Chains A and B, each alone.
Chain A
Amino acid sequence: MQDGNQIHAGFSDPVFQSQGAFRALLAALSEPGLARDLGDAIEAPTGLEPATAVALLTLADYETPIWLPVALRDGPAGAWLRFHCGAALVEEPSRAAFAVIDGAASEPKLASFNAGDDQFPDRSTTVLVQCGGLEGGEAVTLEGPGIAGHRTIAPAGLRPGFWAEVEGNATLYPLGIDLLLVHGTQALGLPRSTQIVGAR
């Protein structure tokens, strides 16, 4: 366990562990709705799912401001990210390149993150939604790029109205935030290009 002063180790083999995790993330966002395993290469700090920690260690650095819930920002997770990624932890959701939210918490809304602008839609926030599970919840049917026909997912532990927010995000396309639903060592991609067809 981690006490207040101790920062856990990052990758033991940064080159290959980050490469493996990146390929899982690339597969997750290019085939939305399929859960991918990011591995258990590190011991995540309190408050971050293992997949969240691996994804941020793989992608974040001094160029990418990160938004965390206040409790995480001021706790070991914030210290861990500052130390390993050198990333700035920002207070305004709209300034973040990456954000971590609790899927069950009512705030912040997805719309408070940066959706990019029409000439640079790539400057939007990638939001990691830590949820109670990637199956066993309310079934939602997806369609769009990366999906042959339809795909049904049922992540658990998401706040009421979450899917309406996701639908609202998809209507902004090609703007919008990109979501990764994470639980344990797994991540499931929901990029802005994915449409919700059979919600609720």
Chain B
Amino acid sequence: MTVHQSISDDAKPAYNYAYLDEQTKRMIRRALLKAVAVPGYQVPFGSREMPLARGWGTGGIQVTAAIIGPDDTLKVIDQGADDTTNAVSIRRFFERTADARTTEATDEATIIQTRHRIPEAPLKSGQIMVYQVPQPEPLRKLEPHEAETRKMHAWAEYGLMQVKLYENIARFGEVTTTYDYPVMVNGRYVMAPSPIPKFDNPKMQMSPALQLFGAGREKRIYAVPPHTSVRSLDFEDHPFRIQSWEQPCALCGAADSYLDEVVIDDQGGRMFVCSDSHHCETRRAEGHRGAMLADASALHLVEDKP
């Protein structure tokens, strides 16, 4: 009953559609519905062995496998890029096991599985973000025992996190956490937004898209429904700030996107380029040109459409 064979006619043994068996999907789906009902709370689930190592996105893959269907278009990004190893592998996994339609265009995707970034293009209602989460427990570095962190969440006892941020300010003059910056969801649960840069935190606030988080090794699923308050923790006299750069993207000239620093020679030369590869390509196609685009195209590092 659960073996789905219509993907190809050859006689190779077929996995179930989207790899997971139906019993596992039901279990994950029940966890997802409870996660949506209690935004930011980590729901334990029976994480399965997947055909890639824990830590390579098994949580996100299980969530995507439980929700994906024939009407979906899947985009997978790794550090903002569609063409890096993890993104390519996961995209191919779903092309093979779920016959999935895939895309690199953010606005065409109905499901966007991501490692460490939220796309620059604004998300829309009806889209689902699936985050791959290595450590779902924002308090874990402060309190190693699950029995204790569970009580801290149960009683909304988040003083320890505020103390950690305060000590940062006392020692360095500012909060030095730059990624996986803790957020308060719906005024109740402190949540790890996964290792996205804090630059992306404001995109979660009242996002029109549904956001699902899967941690495979740690066996937790959590969620943020659309239009939900997601506030980065801060202090009145030290408000939350995102990163900024002194120069725009060297390829597309964007001054408002998250930039990666790339070392280009051994003379101390470096360039800053958009981490969201689709955003950068779209802007170049629209005619935006950064300072180093000509050099990069002469060396065939990027395709330049004049």
Q: Which residues of A contact B (CB under 8 A)?
A: 14-16, 18-20, 22-23, 25-27, 29-31, 58-61, 63-64, 97, 118-122, 124, 126, 144-148, 173-174, 178, 191-193
Pick out which of these stretches binds chain A: B135-143, B225-233, B245-253, B275-283. Answer: B225-233
Query: Across the interface, do B188 and A26 meet the contact criterion of CB distance under 8 Å?
Result: no
For residue B72, give the distance in angstroms from its CB to the closest CB of chain A.
9
Is B302's CB within 8 Å of the partner chain A? no
Q: Residue-by-residue, is B28-44 near A (CB-CB < 8 Å gives 1, otherwise 0)?
A: 01111111111101011
Pick out which of these stretches binds chain A: B76-84, B149-157, B285-293. Answer: B149-157
Q: How many residues of B contact A (CB 8 A)?
A: 47
CA distance A120 to B228 in the complex (A): 21
Query: Across the interface, do A22 and B67 meet the contact criterion of CB distance under 8 Å?
Result: yes
CA distance A147 to B69 in the complex (A): 25
Q: Name the B residues within 8 Å of A14 (CB-CB).
A: 1-2, 22
Query: Across the interface, do A178 and B29 meet the contact criterion of CB distance under 8 Å?
Result: no
Q: Name the B residues within 8 Å of A192 (CB-CB).
A: 37-38
Q: Name the A residues within 8 Å of B39 (CB-CB).
A: 145, 193
For residue A165, give the distance in angstroms from its CB to the closest CB of chain B.
17
Q: A19-B68, A144-B186 are in contact. List 6 more A-B contacts (CB 8 A).
A: A16-B69, A22-B25, A25-B29, A119-B153, A122-B35, A192-B37
Query: Across the interface, do A22 and B4 meet the contact criterion of CB distance under 8 Å?
Result: no
Majority DSSP secondary structure for residues of B touching A: mixed
Query: Across the interface, do B16 and A178 meet the contact criterion of CB distance under 8 Å?
Result: no
For residue B42, give the distance in angstroms from its CB to the closest CB of chain A.
9
CA distance A30 to B227 in the complex (A): 9
CA distance A118 to B44 in the complex (A): 14
Is B70's CB within 8 Å of the partner chain A? yes
Is B17's CB within 8 Å of the partner chain A? yes
For residue A113, give the distance in angstroms from its CB to the closest CB of chain B.
14
Q: Name the A residues within 8 Å of B35 (CB-CB).
A: 122
CA distance A174 to B4 in the complex (A): 39
Q: Name the A residues within 8 Å of B153 (CB-CB).
A: 119
26 contacts between A and B (CB under 8 A): A15-B2, A15-B22, A16-B17, A18-B22, A18-B25, A19-B25, A19-B67, A22-B66, A22-B67, A23-B67, A25-B29, A26-B29, A30-B36, A30-B225, A31-B226, A61-B26, A119-B151, A119-B154, A122-B31, A122-B38, A145-B224, A146-B227, A173-B38, A174-B188, A192-B38, A193-B37
For residue A193, give the distance in angstroms from its CB to the closest CB of chain B.
6
Q: Which of B223-279 contact A (CB under 8 A)?
A: 223-229
Q: Which of B64-95 contact A (CB under 8 A)?
A: 66-70
CA distance A148 to B229 in the complex (A): 11
CA distance A18 to B155 in the complex (A): 36
Query: Across the interface, do A122 and B43 meet the contact criterion of CB distance under 8 Å?
Result: yes
Q: Residue-by-residue, is B1-30 near A (CB-CB < 8 Å gives 1, otherwise 0)?
A: 110100000000000110000110111011
Contact of B23 among A61, A121, A145, A148 (CB under 8 A): A61
Q: Name the B residues within 8 Å of A31 (CB-CB).
A: 225-226
- Given A22-B67, A192-B38, do A145 and B17 touch, yes or no (CB 8 Å)? no
Query: Which are the 4 A-B pairs with shortest beta-carbon distances?
Result: A191-B37, A118-B154, A122-B34, A146-B225
Q: Which residue of B lies closest to A13 (CB)?
A: B4
For residue B232, give the distance in angstroms from its CB to the closest CB of chain A.
17
Q: Name the A residues within 8 Å of B66 (CB-CB).
A: 22
- Given A118-B154, A145-B186, A146-B227, do A26 and B69 touch, yes or no (CB 8 Å)? no
CA distance A124 to B227 in the complex (A): 24
Q: Name the A residues within 8 Å of B34 (CB-CB).
A: 121-122, 124, 178
CA distance A119 to B43 in the complex (A): 10
Query: Across the interface, do A121 and B41 meet the contact criterion of CB distance under 8 Å?
Result: yes
Is B210's CB within 8 Å of the partner chain A? yes
Contact of B32 among A26, A64, A191 (CB under 8 A): A26
Contact of A26 among B26, B33, B186 (CB under 8 A): B33
CA distance A27 to B127 in the complex (A): 11
Q: Which of B155, B189, B206, B226 has the most CB of A within 10 A?
A: B226
Q: Which of B200-234 contact A (CB under 8 A)?
A: 206, 208, 210, 223-229
Q: Which of B4, B69, B150, B225 has the most CB of A within 10 A?
A: B225
For residue A43, give the distance in angstroms from its CB to the closest CB of chain B.
19
Q: Which residue of B lies closest to A179 (CB)?
A: B37
Query: Across the interface, do B4 and A15 meet the contact criterion of CB distance under 8 Å?
Result: yes
Q: Which residue of A lies closest to B125 (CB)?
A: A31
CA distance A36 to B113 in the complex (A): 24
Q: Which of A29, A120, A174 has the most CB of B within 10 A?
A: A174
Query: Across the interface, do A191 and B36 meet the contact criterion of CB distance under 8 Å?
Result: yes
